[in-house]
């Protein structure tokens, strides 16, 4: 409906140009043909509709891109050296997703134990702040990888997992 309005208004504009301005003053580019003026006006109205229709998706995409950037999720499996560097940063939370028995046998300093296999795992991670940076590890990297995926799906913005788990860790382990 909107397109029809633009086409009709373009046709009317072309006619009015021909009738009152252009051709009466000797500036008629269509050679004194009112039908040509109406046709050109209708085409101009169509072009206005076409070009305005193209602008809206770009504006929407740009808004969507901006929101996506703000809500970007980092989920990265990093080697032990990079994991150790991240542990030194302020405001990071270190999570050991092994069982309590595995945790008692040795863990990384400052780690919190949230058992990936526990039935209340989802409830425990729901209590965490999704805007913080999380470092997640397990014995081999399998459970921490799965836990990292769950955290990112729940809206946690920055999650790093230890590639190879504690098996790949060469640093200090608290016993």
Residue 139 CA: distances (Å) to CA of 44, 45, 91, 122: 68, 67, 24, 20
Q: Is 138 a catalytic residue?
A: yes
Distance of alpha carbon 100 from alpha carbon 44, whole angstroms: 73
Cβ(7)–Cβ(45) under 8 Å? yes
| Choice among 23, 28, 54, 138 that is catalytic | 138
Distance of alpha carbon 124 from alpha carbon 62, whole angstroms: 36
**Looking at the annotation, which residues are catalytic?**
138
């Amino acid at each position: 409906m909107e397109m029809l309005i633009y086409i009709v208004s373009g046709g009317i504009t072309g006619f009015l140009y021909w009738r009152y301005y252009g051709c009466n003053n000797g500036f008629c580019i269509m050679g004194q043909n009112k039908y040509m003026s109406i046709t050109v006006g209708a085409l101009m109205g169509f072009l206005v509709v076409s070009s305005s229709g193209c602008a809206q998706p770009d504006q929407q995409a740009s808004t969507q891109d901006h929101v996506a950037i703000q809500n970007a999720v980092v989920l990265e499996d990093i080697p032990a050296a990079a994991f150790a560097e991240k542990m030194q940063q302020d405001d990071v939370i270190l999570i050991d997703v092994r069982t309590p028995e595995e945790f008692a046998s040795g863990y990384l300093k400052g780690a919190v134990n949230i058992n990936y296999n526990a039935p209340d795992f989802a409830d425990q991670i729901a209590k965490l702040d999704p805007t913080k940076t999380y470092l997640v590890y397990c014995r081999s990297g399998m459970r921490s990888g799965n836990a990292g995926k769950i955290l990112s799906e729940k809206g946690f913005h920055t999650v790093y997992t230890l590639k190879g788990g504690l098996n790949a860790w060469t640093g200090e382990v608290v016993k």
